[in-house]
Amino acid sequence: MYSLLKEKLREKNWFYKYNLYNRYFDYVETLSEKKEVEISVVVISWRLHENTLLNLKSLSTQRRKNELEVIFVNNGCDDEEFKDLLPYIDCYIRLNENTGAYLARNIGTIFSNAPIILFLEDDGIPNNYLIESHIMVHSIFDVISVRGVYLPEKDAYIPKNYKHYYEGIKFFPSPAKLEGNASYQANEFFLVGGWDDNIKFGHGGIELSIRLTKTEPDKTKQIYSPISIIYHDPLTDPLKQKEKEERQNKSKNRLRRIHTEWDKFLESWKTLYRNSNIIQYKNDAGKYFPQFFQLYQKVIEDHFSLFCRNSGDFYKGNNSILFRLEYLQEIKNIEIFIFGAGSFGLDLLHYLNEQQVEVSGFYDNDDSKWGNYVDGLVINNPNNITDNEYIIIASTWKEEIVKQLLERGLKPIENFVVYEM
């Protein structure tokens, strides 16, 4: 058994880790032989969670479309706990104690066979298209890492504290801050040594991103994918949340001492935030475009009601409206216009520009403004509003403008919304 550990470590050029891994490695059992797979899914667990069986069953249903292998790492628990999971696992690994998330994940990867490795929460439930989405994103874009989305499992809306888990429907450069729904090009992952084996809790995704950037400085190759979704509720117990934050801060402080560029590194991503235009496509991406766009539209529209559950009022920070605007642009190819070319309209334009929402122009009832420009955008006659446009009212005359648009047959929320200053 230990000769197999040595063999696998040599294959990954990780033999220098043997003494460390041998200390915790108990055994590995191949339950289903996989020769050619597109993606290896690594799940670790130190105890049986009620969602873990649902997780693996969901992965099993996705085998019909994708060649995948499931590698499960028992992180120091009694084997009996996981007996019901075995029919859904291809490779079962047992460690002799709870090593924390990162060392256990790394041991799981040395038995992987695919060019893409996906790390998945044991207590998250994969969306029906999770596997297909990760494979597709790696096929379309020139990337080395892809971080996905966590959406609430039980709630009917996205809580305000979910910004870390869901960041809109655009693809854009981002380190893998959500490690339980993150995939990597296997060769790049093994080249940099994988996760930091010494991390016990938290911030491993940022740490790994720093090392990936040292071998591949192009940050556009680490991205956020809005269509790679798992359902996972946040902690609701304040005491447990506080304990989690304390452990994460302790880990972050350690990593900041090791990587003195930590804060500067995080700051460097801000200029790339929500900028989908700078991500590079692979040379042969075109052959995947029809399938990719169909998947993109399907996943986003499946969750449309969830994203737009909140009020129709538009104000800064209202993510449901931002989602709607992105949806209209990305999926429906509808142009966004601001009704009101005064100071409120200009304020809104600057805000939308910051959010990477493209505005096509202005409308205003003052005919002396027609044909003039505001920040390079033309001011138009409202009589020229078309069906392929979405209107945001940004004016002190909002009641009159709402009545005007209603008389034209436009519908609130569906065709226009009021920007609340």
Residue 294 lies in a domain: no
The stretch 355-382 carries a mean pLDDT of 95
- Return the structure tokens found at 133: 């989405």
pLDDT attached to residue 85 = 97
Chain center to CA of 179: 10
What is the residue-wise DSSP string for 95-111? ESS---HHHHHHHHHTT
pLDDT attached to residue 36 = 86
Task: Name the percent of the chain lying above pLDDT 70.
Answer: 94
Residues across the chain: 421
Structural domains of the chain, count: 2
Is the pLDDT confidence value at 172 over 90? Answer: yes
Do residues 47 and 196 share a domain? Answer: yes
Query: Domain boundary at 278, 295, 321, which?
Result: 278
pLDDT attached to residue 33 = 82
d(CA 276, CA 99): 37
Domain range spanning residue 224? 2-278
3-state secondary structure of 62: helix
Is the pLDDT confidence value at 310 over 60? Answer: no
- Whether the CB-CB separation of 186 and 114 falls below 8 Å is answered with yes
User: Phi/psi of residue 279, each to 5°?
Assistant: -75, 135
Do residues 138 and 209 share a domain? Answer: yes
d(CA 262, CA 253): 10
**Neighbour-count burial of 347, counting CB atoms closer than 10 A to its CB (0-12 exposed, 13-18 middle, 19+ buried):** middle
d(CA 276, CA 255): 29
3-state secondary structure of 119: strand
- Whether the CB-CB separation of 9 and 84 falls below 8 Å is answered with no
Looking at residue 167, its amino acid is E
d(CA 403, CA 414): 15
Q: Strand 373-374 and strand 377-380: pairing?
A: antiparallel
Looking at residue 381, its amino acid is N
Neighbours of 365 (CB within 10 A): 17
Residue 393 sits in a domain of what CATH number?
A: 3.40.50.720
CA distances from 260 to 218, 252, 270, 345, 417 (A): 20, 12, 19, 42, 46
pLDDT attached to residue 404 = 94
The stretch 162-175 carries a mean pLDDT of 86
Do residues 50 and 181 share a domain? Answer: yes
If we measure between CA atoms, which residue out of 109, 137, 126 comes closest to residue 63? 126
Do residues 222 and 370 share a domain? Answer: no
With a CB cutoff of 8 Å and minimum separation 6, the contacts of 210 are 259, 261, 262, 265
Residue 325 lies in a domain: yes
| Strand extents, DSSP E, 166-279 | 172-173, 181-185, 222-231
Neighbours of 97 (CB within 10 A): 12
Residue 74 lies in a domain: yes
Query: Domain boundary at 254, 278, 302, which?
Result: 278
With a CB cutoff of 8 Å and minimum separation 6, the contacts of 399 are none
Query: Domain boundary at 231, 255, 278, which?
Result: 278
Residue 34 sits in a domain of what CATH number?
A: 3.90.550.10
pLDDT attached to residue 317 = 72
User: Mean pLDDT: which of 140-144, 150-154, 327-331 is highest?
Assistant: 140-144
If you average pLDDT over every residue of the chain, what do you get?
A: 91
The stretch 149-155 carries a mean pLDDT of 82
Do residues 257 and 321 share a domain? Answer: no
- Return the structure tokens found at 233: 């509720």
Name the band, by pLDDT with cuts 50, 70 and 90, for residue 160: low
Do residues 257 and 365 share a domain? Answer: no
Residue 262 lies in a domain: yes
pLDDT attached to residue 159 = 62
If we measure between CA atoms, which residue out of 169, 202, 211 comes closest to residue 306? 169
Name the band, by pLDDT with cuts 50, 70 and 90, for residue 351: very high
pLDDT attached to residue 237 = 67
What is the residue-wise DSSP string for 126-174? E-TTHHHHHHHHHHHB--SEEEEEEE-SS-SS--GGGTTT---SS-EE-
Do residues 327 and 245 share a domain? Answer: no
Do residues 407 and 267 share a domain? Answer: no
Residue 208 lies in a domain: yes
pLDDT attached to residue 346 = 95
Do residues 91 and 194 share a domain? Answer: yes
* Least trusted range by pLDDT, from 66-70, 169-173, 237-241: 237-241
Do residues 117 and 196 share a domain? Answer: yes
d(CA 380, CA 258): 56
d(CA 337, CA 390): 6
pLDDT attached to residue 267 = 95
- The more confident residue out of 367 and 33 is 367
pLDDT attached to residue 158 = 65
- The more confident residue out of 356 and 39 is 39
Residue 298 lies in a domain: no
pLDDT, tens digit, 9 for 90 and up, residues 246-274 = 777 777 888 888 899 999 999 999 999 88
Do residues 63 and 176 share a domain? Answer: yes
Residue 180 lies in a domain: yes
pLDDT attached to residue 8 = 95
Do residues 257 and 212 share a domain? Answer: yes
d(CA 43, CA 107): 11
What pTM did the predictor assign? 0.86
Residue 284 lies in a domain: no
